[in-house]
Amino acid sequence: MTRFEELLEGKLAGELSPDENQEFAALLVLAENRRAFERHQQTVALLTSVERQVPSSSFTEDVLARLPDRKSRPLEKLWEFLWAPRVVRWNVATALALGLVLVVAVLARTLPSQSPVSSEMRSVVTLFRFTLDAPGAQQVFLAGDFNGWRTDEISLADATGRGRFSVTLPLKPGRYAYMFVVDEATWVTDPRAEAYRDDGFGNKNALVDVEAPTVGNGDT
């Protein structure tokens, strides 16, 4: 706040001393200060010219009387009904019915619920053995339709140490395309597959048809 603004507030409040009045008059020489003082004078004159309206003693009652009647809503009626005090009369039939409800509720909470058997458990599968003779290979993986052609998921084991790698998988009935991946680099088609189809990259995918399980396991 500038010095002129401080003196202006005191001038409007009538609180300036004679010395401050002289200082204020000297500052009015500036056109900017003079215009500000004139605006304040106009505002004061406007406020003093407004007629003050004094409300009547019955103003509050008149306003409340004009407000619409407040009707209770359905939820409020229901709440009042539920919590209204009342006398409950018991008889034998009522007591037995309430007891039966309590027994059923307790049994429902204590008895173990039987979870439905998942469709996956009810699915029919056949065990199929995939075998590849790859002497000298360090590792062999199996990739196909049954695992999204992921090359690092199904590993074959060389149980005899003679380069015969094999793995047994549970498969649902259907036709599957597959290939072997040797040492993470070489794709090898199963030479003993039942059928083949082009893979679109110059090689052939091996095909196997899985039927519903019978006695014994299939062997590719």
Residue the block writes with tokens 């003679």: 162
Q: Which residues does residue 133 pair with via DSSP β-bridges, in sequence order?
A: 164
Q: Which helix H or strand E contains 197, and what residues bound it?
A: strand 195-198
Work out the angle at residue 106's Cα, subtended by the Cα atoms of residues 104 and 109, and round it to the nearest 5 degrees: 110
What does pTM read for this prediction? 0.43
Which is more confidently placed, 39 or 114? 39
Work out the angle at residue 156's Cα, subtended by the Cα atoms of residues 214 and 186, and round it to the nearest 5 degrees: 120
Q: Which two tokens stand for residue 187?
A: 């794709």
What is the rounded CA–CA span in Å between residue 47 and residue 41? 10
The strand order across the sheet containing 164-171 reads 164-171, 126-133, 218-219
From residue 125, alpha-carbon distances to 3, 13, 65, 212 in Å are: 96, 99, 82, 7
Radius of gyration of the chain (CA): 48
Over residues 145-159, the pLDDT tens digits come to 999 999 999 999 999
User: What average pLDDT does the segment 29-51 reach?
Assistant: 82
Over residues 80-108, the pLDDT tens digits come to 777 777 666 666 676 677 778 877 777 77
Per-residue pLDDT band at 186 (split at 50, 70, 90): very high
Q: Which residues does residue 197 pair with via DSSP β-bridges, in sequence order?
A: 205
* Structural domains of the chain sorted by starting position, each given as residue range(s) with its CATH number in brackets: 3-49 (no CATH), 123-219 (2.60.40.10)
Average pLDDT, rounded, for the chain: 81
Q: What is the DSSP string of 48-98?
A: HHSPPPPPPTTHHHHHHHHSPPPPPPHHHHHHHHHHS--PPPP-HHHHHHH
Q: Which two tokens stand for residue 209?
A: 């048809």
What is the rounded CA–CA span in Å between residue 183 and residue 132? 13
Per-residue pLDDT band at 72 (split at 50, 70, 90): low
Closest listed residue to residue 144, CA positions, set 218, 207, 191, 200:
207
